[in-house]
Chains A and B, each alone.
Chain A
Amino acid sequence: MNFRSGLAVVGRLVAIGALAFAAHAQAQKEPIKIGAFVSATGPAAFLGDPEQKTLELYVEKINAGGGVLGRRLKLISYDSAGDAEKARTFVKRLIEEDKVDAIVGGSTTGETMAVIPLVEQAQIPFISLAGAVVVVEPVKKWVFKTPATDRMACEKIFQDMNARKISKIGLITGSGAFDKSMRAQCMQVAPKYGIDIVGDETYGAQDTDMTAQLTKLRQNAQVQAVLNCGFGAGPAIVTKNFRQIGMSVPLYQSHGVASKEFIKLAGDAANGVRLPAAALLVADTLPANDPQKHVVLDYLHAYEARYHQDVSTFGGHAYDGLMLIVQAMKQAGTTDDAKVRDALEQIHGFMGIDGEFNFSPTDHMGLTLAAFRMLEIQNGNWTLVK
């Protein structure tokens, strides 16, 4: 073979090699697809809207910072409007048509439970944004969640009641799924804290007047405090009615009302109300050495600067969900479903908005009671209860 033909062969080999390398690099530049489904409209829009906004904001920020594993993130999100059937179809779409690498979503427990069989079968990591404890109990291999559970909220409240020597309480619960689930959990754990439930009223999710039910609780001389397991407009009306009929015992709300909106709606009546909530709400007043201070302040500033709206803890769930997936991918060094899932289970000490996450094969929720802070509303603002 003479020199010229040899050069030609080498030239061709180099060309092929360059093409192959370019193709490989091209494949590497394929964006990482994060699938999401939240209830941006419908009865749970209160939850889904900030979740959607948070996901969009942070996917943008991550991409601006260079992406993950050298690749851009692409967010493919659908609005399931609080409907389990829609959620199921959209998750199927995310898995089959959009071929996402991981899924974050499921603002409500109903939607989450409906899609669990799908993600388990497809073997794709799924981080749920729903509150009920059934999502991770029993533990499902591919399902994780970020919000603290409703059971933990009950326990935090009961702890505070113990500190105030309250032992007999009245419940007032809405008819929604969140409300009922929390009530069931509270009734289950109450004996553990020596709490006796001596009154138990309910109201409808769309109700506009709860004076009837509260009057019954007021007439019950045994009631030392009232706990409202509720979400949405109902608790604000309960709180207003509570003051309207002149009840003076302590009133506890659930973490479902952990947003500035509740204070705006309930007005002066909200002063003195206590509830468990994520540190996000008191970000400004957290002590400087609080481990969460940095993360929550960053989120608060970023969200409010972009959307000119108050932050909500629900948006925080979405932040944690996205960041946990990103962290797991970085740790695993790949987007392979099984490896990412394993990496998720090994996450320790991850400081999120909801608290410090420590996952394990038996704990796909990752938070402890410390994730909840006990807050009291004073002068129209959140304050930490020491």
Chain B
Amino acid sequence: MSAQLLQFLFAGLTAGAIYALVALGFSIIYNSSQVINFAQGEFVMIGGMATVSLLHLGLPLPLAALAAVAVTTLVALALDKLAVERAHGASIVTLIIITIGASILLRGLASLVWDKNIHALPAFSGDKPIALGGATLLPQSLWVLGVSLAVLAALWWFFNRTLYGKAMLATSHNRLAAQLAGISVRRVLLVSFGLSGALGALAGILIAPITFTAWDVGVMLGLKGFAAAILGGLGSGPGAVLGGLLLGLTEALAAGYVSSAYKDVIAFVIILAVLVLMPGGLLGRRAAERV
């Protein structure tokens, strides 16, 4: 049985790493602005689809991927500049509706710019499965896990060791104080969006060889990324990663041992249970409410 368990674990970790990247995107933007960016899933989609079409144009894969990440980052920046910044001062719910509108707009554009078919990316280093302890692992899964770890390390370094990263963290703790200290909150928000866009695109490119990509993959991935971010505690980077991995593993184990039809239900029930017991998520801040 342990070979089977290993197979489920591999599947869960791979999916979990992707959810973690998407969840990080949510957390970073949330930290700068309290806004939940429901267009996060579309960043994932654009990353994957852009790479597909750039490949078709003849670019080699690494270049296409880099260009796709750049394109998505630009889209994210545009979203902030043209929409979120303009709505400065609006209520949280209004901002959420704006990002939802953005996700619909982006999906509609995707179906026009590209098409409505499903596309695959070639695996980065081939398709030959690696046998490990009776289970098989795709080389692409190793890429997903490896690159995610590298990205996490880079982000940690950025937020904790660079001045600008620390400035962004300061903004998330106390906006007013950060402004008084001379930090441009607007710029921080812009950078947050850009960063989340890049993260989302990266996730989309990493996973496309395994799960394929299409104009509408953003909806489900956005939902799962959001769930993971909440599970781990909104605004917490480690929380996002933990939430993502836990969600991926729960799904895989539930599908393998309980019922594949109900695996999403089981995952959400667990999330609900965790939230009821720990209302701030696993690693979330126990924020004191101001009167």
Task: Report A's interface with B, CB cutoff 8 A.
Answer: 40-43, 45-46, 49, 175, 201-204, 206-209, 211-213, 215-216, 219, 232-233, 236-237, 240, 244-246, 261, 264-265, 267-268, 309
Q: Is the CB of A175 within 8 A of B15?
A: no
Q: Is the CB of A203 within 8 A of B212?
A: no
Contact of B260 (CB < 8 Å), options: A46, A203, A237, A244:
A203
Neighbouring A residues of B127 by C-beta, 8 Å? 240, 267-268
Q: Is the CB of A236 within 8 A of B264?
A: no
Q: Is the CB of A212 within 8 A of B111?
A: no
Contact of B116 (CB < 8 Å), options: A41, A216, A240:
A41
Q: Is the CB of B117 within 8 A of A202?
A: no
Residue of B nearest to A172 (CB): B260
Interface string of B243-263 (1 = CB under 8 A from A): 000000000100110001101
- Which of the 9-residue segments B4-12, B90-98, B154-162 touches chain A? B4-12
Q: Is the CB of B211 within 8 A of A237?
A: yes
Neighbouring B residues of A49 by C-beta, 8 Å? 115-117
Neighbouring B residues of A261 by C-beta, 8 Å? 117-118
Neighbouring B residues of A236 by C-beta, 8 Å? 118, 120, 212
Neighbouring A residues of B8 by C-beta, 8 Å? 212
A175 to B212, CA, bound (A): 18
Query: Provided the pairs A204-B264, A211-B7, A212-B11 are in contact, do residues A233 and B214 lie with their beta carbons within 8 angstroms?
Result: yes
Residue of B nearest to A45 (CB): B116
A-B contact pairs, 11 of them (CB 8 A): A49-B115, A209-B11, A209-B210, A219-B4, A233-B212, A236-B212, A244-B138, A245-B7, A246-B129, A265-B118, A268-B127
- Within the complex, what minimum Cβ distance (angstroms) separates A36 from chain B? 17
Q: Is the CB of A202 within 8 A of B210?
A: no
Most buried by B among A40, A244, A246: A244
Q: Is the CB of A41 within 8 A of B118?
A: no
Q: A202-B261, A206-B220, A233-B118 are in contact. List 7 more A-B contacts (CB 8 A).
A: A40-B116, A46-B118, A49-B115, A204-B264, A209-B211, A245-B129, A265-B212
Contact of A245 (CB < 8 Å), options: B111, B120, B136, B256:
B136
Q: Is B207 on the interface with A (CB-CB < 8 A)?
A: yes
Contact of B210 (CB < 8 Å), options: A208, A267, A309:
A208
Query: Provided the pairs A212-B252, A232-B118, A268-B127 are in contact, do residues A204 and B260 lie with their beta carbons within 8 angstroms?
Result: yes
Q: Is the CB of A213 within 8 A of B260?
A: yes
Contact of A204 (CB < 8 Å), options: B7, B10, B111, B263:
B263
A232 to B252, CA, bound (A): 21
A323 to B203, CA, bound (A): 46
Q: Is B14 on the interface with A (CB-CB < 8 A)?
A: yes
Give B234-250 interface residues, CB cut-off 8 Å to A.
none
Neighbouring B residues of A265 by C-beta, 8 Å? 118-120, 212
Q: Is the CB of B11 within 8 A of A267?
A: no
Most buried by B among A204, A211, A237, A264: A211
- Within the complex, what minimum Cβ distance (angstroms) separates B263 from chain A? 7
A215 to B6, CA, bound (A): 11
Q: Is the CB of B211 within 8 A of A41?
A: no
Q: Is the CB of A309 within 8 A of B136?
A: no
Neighbouring B residues of A215 by C-beta, 8 Å? 4, 7
Contact of A237 (CB < 8 Å), options: B7, B212, B261:
B212
**Nearest 5 A-B pairs (CB), nearest first?**
A208-B211, A212-B256, A45-B116, A209-B11, A244-B129
- Within the complex, what minimum Cβ distance (angstroms) separates A4 from chain B? 69
Neighbouring A residues of B260 by C-beta, 8 Å? 201-204, 207, 212-213
A160 to B215, CA, bound (A): 36
Neighbouring B residues of A40 by C-beta, 8 Å? 116
Contact of A46 (CB < 8 Å), options: B10, B116, B119, B220:
B116
A207 to B135, CA, bound (A): 19
Neighbouring A residues of B255 by C-beta, 8 Å? 203-204, 207, 212-213
Residue of B nearest to A206 (CB): B220
Give B207-232 interface residues, CB cut-off 8 Å to A.
207, 210-212, 214-216, 220
Q: Is the CB of A233 within 8 A of B7?
A: no
- Within the complex, what minimum Cβ distance (angstroms) separates A86 from chain B? 15
Neighbouring A residues of B220 by C-beta, 8 Å? 206
Most buried by A among B10, B212, B264: B212
Neighbouring B residues of A42 by C-beta, 8 Å? 216
- Within the complex, what minimum Cβ distance (angstroms) separates B92 from chain A? 28
Neighbouring B residues of A267 by C-beta, 8 Å? 120, 127
A207 to B212, CA, bound (A): 11
Neighbouring A residues of B210 by C-beta, 8 Å? 208-209, 237
Interface string of B180-196 (1 = CB under 8 A from A): 00000000000000000
Residue of A nearest to B14 (CB): A209
A240 to B15, CA, bound (A): 16
- Within the complex, what minimum Cβ distance (angstroms) separates A258 from chain B? 14
A43 to B219, CA, bound (A): 11
Neighbouring B residues of A206 by C-beta, 8 Å? 220
Interface string of B109-148 (1 = CB under 8 A from A): 0010001111110000001010000011010000000000
A268 to B128, CA, bound (A): 11
Most buried by B among A42, A175, A212, A268: A212
Neighbouring B residues of A240 by C-beta, 8 Å? 127
- Within the complex, what minimum Cβ distance (angstroms) separates A39 from chain B? 10
A267 to B121, CA, bound (A): 11
Query: Provided the pairs A49-B116, A206-B220, A236-B118 are in contact, do residues A211 and B15 lie with their beta carbons within 8 angstroms?
Result: no
Q: Is the CB of A309 within 8 A of B115?
A: yes
Q: Is the CB of B116 within 8 A of A208?
A: no
- Within the complex, what minimum Cβ distance (angstroms) separates B248 from chain A? 10
- Within the complex, what minimum Cβ distance (angstroms) separates A99 from chain B? 30
- Within the complex, what minimum Cβ distance (angstroms) separates B135 from chain A? 8
A37 to B48, CA, bound (A): 30
Neighbouring A residues of B215 by C-beta, 8 Å? 45
A240 to B212, CA, bound (A): 12
Q: Is the CB of B136 within 8 A of A244?
A: yes
